[in-house]
Copies of this chain bind each other. A is one copy, B any other.
Amino acid sequence: MAEVKNEGELVVAIPLYHRFTALDGVGPYELLHAVPGVTVLFVSAQAGEAVTADLGMLHLLSTASFQDLPRPDIIVVPGGPGTHGALQDPVFMDWLKKAHETSSYTTSVCSGSLALAAAGLLQGLEATSHWSCYEDLAKLGAVPTDKRVVQQGKIITSAGVSSGIDMALHLIALLKGEEMAKMVQLLVEYDPQPPYDAGSPKKAGEALMAKTQELAKRFGNALPPPK
Contact = CB atoms under 8 A, between A and B. Distances in A.
Contacts of A108: none
A161 B182 CA distance: 15
Contact of A166 (B59, B194, B197, B203): B194
Given A29-B58, A208-B179, A162 B148 contact: no
A192 B212 contact: no
Contact of A192 (B162, B178, B201, B209): B162
Interface residues of A, number: 71
A115 interface: no
A131 interface: yes
A186 B208 contact: yes
Contacts of A39: 57
A143 interface: no
B212 A199 contact: no
Interface in A186-227: 186-201, 203-204, 208-209, 211-212, 215-216, 218-219
A23 B185 CA distance: 13
A42 interface: yes
11 contacts: A23-B29, A33-B55, A34-B218, A59-B60, A59-B63, A61-B61, A149-B193, A159-B191, A161-B187, A162-B189, A191-B200
Given A21-B30, A183-B198, 10 more contacts: A34-B55, A39-B57, A161-B190, A162-B191, A166-B192, A169-B196, A182-B208, A183-B212, A191-B203, A192-B194
